[in-house]
Structure 1
Amino acid sequence: MLDALDAGEVRRWVAACVQSLDAHRAGIDRINVYPVADGDTGSNLLDTLRAALEALLRAPSADRVDAGAAFGVAARGALAGARGNSGVIASQLLRGMAEALRGLDTIGGPDLRAALRSGARMATAAVSEPMPGTMLSVLDAAAAADGGDDLHGVASAAASAAAEALRRTPEQLPVLAEAGVVDAGGRGVVVLLDALVAVVAEQPAAVVAAARARADEPDGMETRLVTAREGGSDLYGYEVMYLLHDTDDAAADRLRDDLDRLGDCVSVVGDGDGLWTVHVHCNDIGAAIEAGIDAGRPRRIRVARFADTPSAEPQRYSRDRAVVAAVRGEDLAELFVAEGVAVLRIGTSEPDPYALLEVITGTAAAHVTVLPGDTGLMAVADEAAIRAVAAGQDVVVVPCASPVQALAAIAVHDPRRRAGDDVVAMAEAAAATRRGELVIAEADGITWVGPCRAGDVLGFADGEVVLIEPGPAGPDAVGRAAIGVVDRMLAAGGELVTALVGQAAPPDLTDTLSHYLHQHRPDADLSVHRGGQPDSLILFGVE
């Protein structure tokens, strides 16, 4: 559980938003009913957050130093790439959060609460005629939530309050009640906040989203979510959007008034640094653009006709699902390949996120689950996943601190399940697998259980040293250490011990371990594989 968000976690949240919106886009688009169906709210939010993520990926290193700066980059990217009313509102949410967090290296619980309140205020200010029962109502509820001062408490309280406010939207807009739906933009807000909870809880976004679907949504809700053409009257047939430069606050106010006379759903919002985004539903396209020319210098003009049906996207992927693992050791890699996993083999050099990205994209799969083989590969996996998500691929990293946890995840992988449910099952299997390890101390040092000398055998359980077997590390010393670690791990329960034998392990080590378990732990089965890992004598997993 994170205590604070740094710049890397901010970027991870935006990537999780893109990933979650991509998964929910069709459901949000499909249920637009107010006032006419044009089915683009989910798509607009996705495009807007994808623009924010791309801005973060392109940002110079100076803008990646602190969390506040990262929010500022995301807000500017979202504003420049905003699509539709919901996209404009989302960009202003990010801008408001960025202003509240300016200059902060990290973001704690009180900081996040202040940021959400600032973001909700700025989002409301972006709309000419705010209506209850829309995503603004959901944002207001999230900002007003009270969940203590720790980061997870603030994030989870905001997400829960948003979900509850979403349920109430049909009570606020009668047309929603008549159709039996909730607000589309509000549903998008819940998706964004669920992604935030996932990042703070250090879980894949799909895990929290699936938990929300199972625990919070009534039966049948998933096929009934959301509203319309993002608001406005069906008297207007076109949506006009453009970016505006070389203007000021007074000219922007005049432009807003001019557009109010032409149509509805008007927003003229800036990033505080000279760039403005303009949005209106109207019938006179030329007048909307001319008003922008009078106010400044429009560019990137986009016009959409509501009556047009978007053409189907070309098929980009040749398969639905794939699993990718990053592992150290040739034998270990072959073990994963035998299970149908695409593998990045990590050698002695520093791991490269672009090499892993190449493996991910090379699967040609729409959904990819990534299993990093140890804690040292988590950052590589996250970086590769973020870049794949920005390019439109659905990629989830399941946290694995050891190859034995990755093997446990693969054991429950079932491509016949829904992708989100499969990720949940794999993440739960990995988390439920306790891990152990034997290594030879390279130098004298101090551990949790006392001092060690170079050449001693160190036994680890779940990342902590639990025993020291004095060196030299001969077969007897290694055997005693292996028995000691497994005995301690089984004391907490377990029915299966998985052992991955490293390059430097004594040849009779697994025989020694098997004999001990047969004599003293007959209720525990032993599964042995040749891992070939260079940095540990043996790895253990207990389930």
Structure 2
Amino acid sequence: MPQTLDAAAVRSWCSLALDALGREREEIDAINVYPVADGDTGTNLYLTVESAAQAVEAVFAAHATRATAPEPTPADAVRAMAHGALIGARGNSGTILAQLLRGMAQVLAPTGSGDGDHPDQGLAPALRRAAELARAAVAHPVEGTILSVASAAADAAGATDAEAGAGATARAAYAGARAALAATPDQLAVLGRAGVVDAGGRGLLTVLGALVRALTGEVPAAPPVRHRRHEAPAPPAPEGGGPEGDGSEGGGPAFEVIYLLEAEDAAVTRLRARLDALGDSLVVVGGDGLWNVHVHVDDAGAAVEAGVEAGRPYRIRVTHFGAAAGHPPEQVQRAVVAVVPGEGLAGLCAEAGATTVLARPGEPPASGELVEAIRRAHAREVVLLPNDAALRHTAAAAAEQARSEGVRVALIPTRAAVQGIAALAVHQPDRRFDEDVVAMTSAAGATRYAELAVAERQSWTMAGICQAGDVLGLIEGDVAVIGADLAATAEAVLTRMLAAGGELVTLVLAEDVPDTLADRLERYVREGHLAVDTVVHRGGRQSVPLLVGVE
């Protein structure tokens, strides 16, 4: 086996870590009691490493087509691993792992490094930089977590002989991390009461074990085994935050919010302060204009709004914890998973108790993303709202996959976000599943939908020929009105939709549409239809300027 951390070893490390986490993620999920006992630390680490491995494979595939450089350099592979982990990071521990890999990359593959670099010579300082950077990324570090395990690994690696080589350094790091992991129940009371080691630290040990194996071919000693003790529930902890490295272990916020963010350093500094005041479990990792933001909050919309003010958030994931902290996720009976077209609706639906998947313009979610969202909901029963006619087959495939994993899934074929909002409005998780699904389906089916879009080119439509720049009013997916002005076209669409009756008009405005449009349309509805109410929501960055629903 190679004793040097070359590109092939980095590739092997990613592959071995992914395989190991795949085998062990259920065990890691099972011991996840801190910061929130939502049982997904192993899964989050697996998904984070999966993204890192895919990025490394993409670099190798790109180089395979080049006659001059068929193999990537070590620096290429290390940077790809760190970048892939950053963009695919999930949960507290996954986000911290991404920052650990980023710290290693800063030493092993500094900007401007060339083909002649030997990253293995810097493995010990790389692990030190990783531990420092990860600790700095957590708003309020706490000992007895993945941070402690990372620091111990760095200390042990730093104590090795500088000439020992990468293999010996990796062995020492693993041994130090293993000892630190065994000590976590004595450092963090919630772990001691449950009789488990820290789940995030346990996952990091798996990743370090894969590094040892990639460099030496040796299978390192098994991790310390601690089993959950069966004892009375712990007394309630004081009020306050309780993330991995961030506060107490008591009942915490209702939502986990994660997004990628393109922003300048100064804006991210302000964002950290704002999110720290909003919730807990705050981890912000990244740099060079791209960040991964993770926080637990009660107001998911405010957390997303803060990201919008700081820069451009995308790949937004909002998860409702469903059960109170300290209770196992299997106690959640029912959840709703909804696809939404903009950040504003992600916050709105999350506040209604839904786990959301953001559909970015031109990038509809794949079935795998929907399956992951169903898993994140941690429920025995899930109602899936695709909110887009084009996602019908994708959602059906995701539902079938989730059913094969033992989750009872009902797919309500909502064709627009406003139908999903209507369905969520009548959702009652305490009634029988079938009755809830029928009520939600009826509410969605009773909601007519429309959208206002801008034509990109001249084309034939059911309403005639449109020119590039024309405003199109699409009702139930068909162009019904062509106009030159957004407000006037919207009024024409409302006139047609309300001709068949209605009790409530829902307007969802994109972020760049002025409030004056909402005011005008509310006044138009009120003057023409006295018995019809109007509600307005901000959708954020959505693909069309206006969505309309009539119930």
CA distance in 2, matches of 1:109, 1:83: 28
CA distance in 1, matches of 2:310, 2:71: 34
Residues 39, 63 of structure 1: alpha-carbon distance in 2 compared, 3 angstrom cutoff: farther
CA distance in 2, matches of 1:109, 1:71: 11
Residues 259, 279 of structure 1: alpha-carbon distance in 2 compared, 3 angstrom cutoff: same
Residues 107, 161 of structure 1: alpha-carbon distance in 2 compared, 3 angstrom cutoff: farther
CA distance in 2, matches of 1:92, 1:278: 11
Q: Secondary structure at the match of 2:318?
A: strand
Structure-2 residue corresponding to 1:27: 27
Task: Select which of 267, 270, 282 maps to 2:286.
Answer: 270
Residue type matched to 1:91 in 2? A
Structure-1 residue corresponding to 2:258: 241
Q: Secondary structure at the match of 1:221?
A: coil
- Root-mean-square deviation over aligned CA pairs: 2.4
Shift of 1:36: 4.4
Deviations 1:489-508 (A, max 9, x none): xxxxxxxxxxxxxxxxxxxx
CA distance in 2, matches of 1:108, 1:267: 27
1:69 is aligned to 2:72 = no
Deviations 1:64-115 (A, max 9, x none): 5221221111111110010011111111111111110122646465411111
Task: Select which of 270, 282, 302 maps to 1:254.
Answer: 270
Structure-1 residue corresponding to 2:99: 92
Deviations 1:108-166 (A, max 9, x none): 65411111111111111111111111000000000011233222211100000000000
1:334-373 alignment to 2 at 5 Å?
none
CA contact (8 A) 1:72 1:98 kept: yes
1:26-175 alignment to 2 at 5 Å?
26-34=26-34, 36-59=36-59, 60-61=62-63, 65-102=72-109, 103=113, 105=116, 107=118, 109-145=120-156, 146-148=159-161, 149-175=164-190
Structure-2 residue corresponding to 1:292: 307
1:305 is aligned to 2:310 = no
CA contact (8 A) 1:166 1:186 kept: yes
Aligned length: 297
1:221 is aligned to 2:226 = yes
Q: Secondary structure at the match of 2:4?
A: coil
Residue type matched to 2:177 in 1? A
CA distance in 2, matches of 1:74, 1:43: 18
Shift of 1:63: 10
Residues 10, 237 of structure 1: alpha-carbon distance in 2 compared, 3 angstrom cutoff: same
CA distance in 2, matches of 1:63, 1:43: 34
Task: Select which of 183, 190, 193 maps to 1:178.
Answer: 193
CA distance in 2, matches of 1:107, 1:85: 32
Deviations 1:380-403 (A, max 9, x none): xxxxxxxxxxxxxxxxxxxxxxxx
1:312-323 alignment to 2 at 5 Å?
none
Structure-2 residue corresponding to 1:14: 14
Higher Rg of the two aligned structures: 1
Comparing 162-171 with 303-312, which one deviates more in the overlay?
A: 303-312
CA contact (8 A) 1:79 1:271 kept: no
CA contact (8 A) 1:36 1:229 kept: yes
Structure-2 residue corresponding to 1:384: none
CA distance in 1, matches of 2:217, 2:35: 39
CA contact (8 A) 2:142 2:244 kept: no
Which structure 1 segments of 5+ residues have no match?
A: 313-543
CA contact (8 A) 1:63 1:70 kept: no
Deviations 1:307-330 (A, max 9, x none): 165899xxxxxxxxxxxxxxxxxx
CA contact (8 A) 1:2 1:151 kept: no
Residues 179, 21 of structure 1: alpha-carbon distance in 2 compared, 3 angstrom cutoff: same
CA distance in 2, matches of 1:45, 1:222: 20
Comparing 30-39 with 55-64, which one deviates more in the overlay?
A: 55-64
